Amino acid sequence: MLKVDVAILPKDVTRMNLSNTVCIVLDIFRATTTIVTSLSNGCKTIVPVLCIEDARALANHIGPVLFAGERQSIRIDGCDLGNSPFEFSQEKVRNQTIIMTTTNGTVAIKATEGAYRTLIGSFLNATAVCQQAKGYGKDILIVCAGTEGFFSLEDTLCAGLLVRLLTEMGEVELSDAARGALLMYSQAKDQLIETAVESRNGKRLYDLNRMYDIVYCFQKDRLNIVPEYREGKILLAK
């Protein structure tokens, strides 16, 4: 029976052997939501990096790119894009290569290097990413990006939804962390937006007049695609 676990923070996976594990990375506000949106709008590939200096150095080797950079929910000066899914429209990203650095999401993605597969999840593609992950027949680890090394409510709520979906797709063995995320989601599922607005990141976005981002990030199964991080790039899963 395959096992389902939840890592509350990227640092929790640093000593794990992930070679036989499928990871699903979540950064709901807003990196993974934005990545899923961007790929659905025809973006060719997204390359996650840890800092803007790495982004610029990489651009010199791979040619014309768009830079997407965010710190504390605000676009980095000089970047073409920030971290709002509404910036990644089809007109802007279709057939483009994007180099992305964000406060939490790209850190979490890079932390899973060495995994059997790393998939990019969100509320937007919840069912699709669970079906893709389950299809490999491997243990599944849901990795929450957190916020600057601390617990993130919105990521764990989405982790709980994914745990619920995975249990509905067939018998699985849940860790205590997976059960905890499931309980949290079950308690809040009828008031997700209201709950998310009260989170640290939710309040920050609300104060930045980004309520529409919050609402969008909590739309379930809006998209039927699954991005995958492989060989340093994010592409549609095969």
Give the pLDDT score at 55: 85
The domain segmentation of the chain, as residue ranges, is 3-229
Give the pLDDT score at 54: 86
Q: What gap in Å lies between CA 30 and CA 12, rounded to an integer?
A: 21
Residue 196 CB-half CA count within 13 A: 27
CATH top-level class for 3-229?
Answer: alpha beta
Give the pLDDT score at 42: 97
Q: Is the Cα dihedral 12, 142, 121, 157 positive or negative?
A: negative
Give the pLDDT score at 63: 77
10-residue averages of pLDDT along the chain (238 residues): 96 94 97 97 95 84 88 87 94 96 92 97 98 98 95 97 97 97 97 95 93 97 98 94
Give the pLDDT score at 57: 86
Q: Give 5's DSSP letter.
A: E
Contact by Cβ (8 Å): 226, 129: yes
